[in-house]
Chains A and B, each alone.
Chain A
Amino acid sequence: MSDQSLERIRRAQQGDTSALSSLLREHYTFLFKYLIKVTMDPLLAEDLVQDTMVRCMEKINTYNGTSSFSSWLITIATRIFIDRKRRWKREAEWKQREQQEQGIRSIRWRFESRGEEWSEVLDSLSKLPSAQRVAVLLKHYYGYSYDEIGEILRVPSGTVKSRVSLGLNQLRKELNEDGEG
């Protein structure tokens, strides 16, 4: 982390709102891109970024610097997403599926409107259960260890290992099926 960022964090913890604003602005794109990959839904990602920013404002004093600021944001954002998913359990399953499909259509449209091909890998990733998708992303894209992911998700590292392995197997299976089909 740069000295400038550390100084901003220190000032933000002392109640300097402009330091906190610029810190959040600096990490906005990173956070949004993380949440796009986690949710596969741009609208939901935007909503969750906003909630994460608010939570970060409330909890900035609890940040102790043991992890990078971006990892801290990832932890907050992931937990907010998991809480949101739990609340959605009460909603009808078809409604959730419809929303998820709408999100994927929106990302797909973005690819196609720029003349780029939609990817089978991303399609398969979007079909994974969210817990497996988050575990695969954190392990194989963001490079966290199983223990670190366990701390982020508040589950034992053995559970993370099995989610990653199940997720990768599922992805491989879907891609092989698509390749054969």
Chain B
Amino acid sequence: MEKDKDKEPELYLHKLSDELDRLDAQYNDITPPSLQELERLMVDASVHRKSMERKELLLFWGISLILISVFLSILGSAPMIYWIIQAIIPIAGLSALGIARIRRNREGAQE
């Protein structure tokens, strides 16, 4: 009886493996895309990536210029506020990173 109980997980895993083989076999007839299709996918992906990179770079420069001009004008008119913002930003950034990390770990455990 005890021996049968020990063998149970093994039998069970064997069954699982057999059923997954059967699932695989259902898709034996799928045809992979042709070499031409894959090459076209590669070209499309590369064009898409380049355009995304260009957009991201433009966005980065745009936001950077706006931020620099805002901060320079604050520094000129109200230096105290400028230094307060300089202190708040890293603290807020680090806290947000910490919270995001904790949340991600929790999500990972629940998934």
Query: Which residues of A, 11-55, contact B by the 8 Å Cβ criterion?
Result: 17-18, 20-22, 24-25, 28-29, 32-33, 36-37, 42, 50, 53-54
A97-128: contact bitstring with B at CB < 8 Å (1 yes, 0 no)? 00000000001001100101001011001000
By secondary structure, the B interface counts as: helix
Query: Which residues of B, 30-89, contact A by the 8 Å Cβ criterion?
Result: 30, 32-35, 38-39, 41-42, 45-46, 49
Question: Contact residue range for chain B?
Answer: 20 to 34
Instruction: Point out the residues of chain A lying under 8 angstroms from B39, CB to CB.
Output: 17-18, 21
Return A103 CB to nearest CB of chain B, in Å: 12
A157-171: contact bitstring with B at CB < 8 Å (1 yes, 0 no)? 001000000001001
Residues of A that sit less than 8 Å from B by CB: 17-18, 20-22, 24-25, 28-29, 32-33, 36-37, 42, 50, 53-54, 57-58, 82, 85-86, 89, 107, 110-111, 114, 116, 119, 121-122, 125, 129-131, 136-137, 140-141, 155, 159, 168, 171-172, 175
Contact (Cβ within 8 A) A116 B9: no
Who on chain B is nearest to A171 by CB?
Answer: B16
Contact (Cβ within 8 A) A121 B16: yes
Contact (Cβ within 8 A) B16 A21: no
Instruction: Point out the residues of chain B lying under 8 angstroms from A159, CB to CB.
Output: 108-109
Q: Which 3 A-B pairs have the closest CB atoms?
A: A28-B32, A131-B111, A21-B38
